[in-house]
A = this chain, B = another copy of it.
Amino acid sequence: MIIPTYDDMLAAHERIKPYIRRTPIRTSDCLNEIAGCELYFKCENFQEPGAFKVRGAANAVFGLDDEQAKKGVATHSSGNHASCLSYAAMKRGIPCNVVMPRTAPQAKMDTVRRYGGRITECAPSTSSREATFAQVQAATGGDFVHPYNDPRVIAGQGTCAREFIEQADGLDMVVAPIGGGGMISGTCLPLSTLAPETRVIAAEPEQADDAFRSFKAGHIIADDAPVTIADGLLVPLKDLTWHFVSNHVSEICTASEQDIIEAMKLTWKHLRVVMEPSSSLPLATILKNPDAFKGKRVGVIITGGNVDLDKLPWILG
């Protein structure tokens, strides 16, 4: 297991700068009043491919030597990692093969194709995606860029929190969603060096609360096929992300499907940004546990904005 370092994150930032945006911070007096704290939202949904995952993906793709680059990259992903890896591969002009669950949102599949990624569909379970991926990788020889359990990816994701603490002073805590733990690990990486007093809190769907249970148990617990509207948070922790979660995360909070939908709609209304259900977990848990956040300066990472605009969860179709 190679644990990415602070210097790996700095090197990643230099490497990926031409391919990422330094995303802005949004605030809303109305949301602050509703939540009873000072909220700072980092808009990673404003990355060109719509998610923070372009940071880790670009770090992996642009770190390949020319020989491996010719064979391209390959991955499995519920959506945004697939889009972002395709985007980075397109920017370098190399092939990208991705395995996606056939239940992934249409918007995410469209994005992968727009960037030239080749999709192989699988069943919506961890076991199916891993089996299908083994076949695809054997056929193509693409370098496997895991969506989160890869030091290059975590170092890349870490550049987001580095920017965040430069843009918003004195955050008491940063809250980010947790699925496989790539964003949370990437958040711990710079904060443990630059702002050790800033607590890192992970937010997870009740219906896919494997990280919450792992955190309590002290070892990784993985579910095979959880079901939640937060389609980016279906995957389990792995050894690398567990390292960061078990050593640096202060707390893992959970929220119900209804909490997620309400927080999503509130954000669209008051911040006026389009974000996906997975990105609602932080606000949903903040609103559910107001005493824990009261009066604090709270950073929230809006992880992605790729959502089917024809199927909004608060409108019955």
Contacts and interface: CB of A to CB of B under 8 A. Distances in A.
Interface of A: 24, 26, 28-30, 45-46, 48, 50, 107, 114, 265, 268-269, 272-275, 305, 309-310, 312, 314-315, 317
A312 B310 CA distance: 9
A317 B24 CA distance: 34
Contact of A273 (B29, B114, B274): B274
B309 A268 contact: yes
5 contacts: A265-B309, A272-B275, A309-B312, A310-B315, A315-B315
A315 B26 CA distance: 28
A274 B264 CA distance: 12
Copies, count: 2
Contacts of A272: 45-46, 50, 273-275, 305
Chain A facing B: main interface SS? loop
A128 to B, nearest CB: 29
A46 B29 contact: no
Contacts of A114: 30
Given A268-B274, A274-B274, A315-B315, A28 B48 contact: yes
Given A30-B48, A265-B309, 12 more contacts: A26-B46, A30-B114, A45-B272, A50-B272, A107-B269, A268-B309, A272-B273, A272-B305, A274-B274, A310-B314, A312-B315, A315-B317
Contacts of A45: 272
Contacts of A317: 315
A265 B312 CA distance: 13
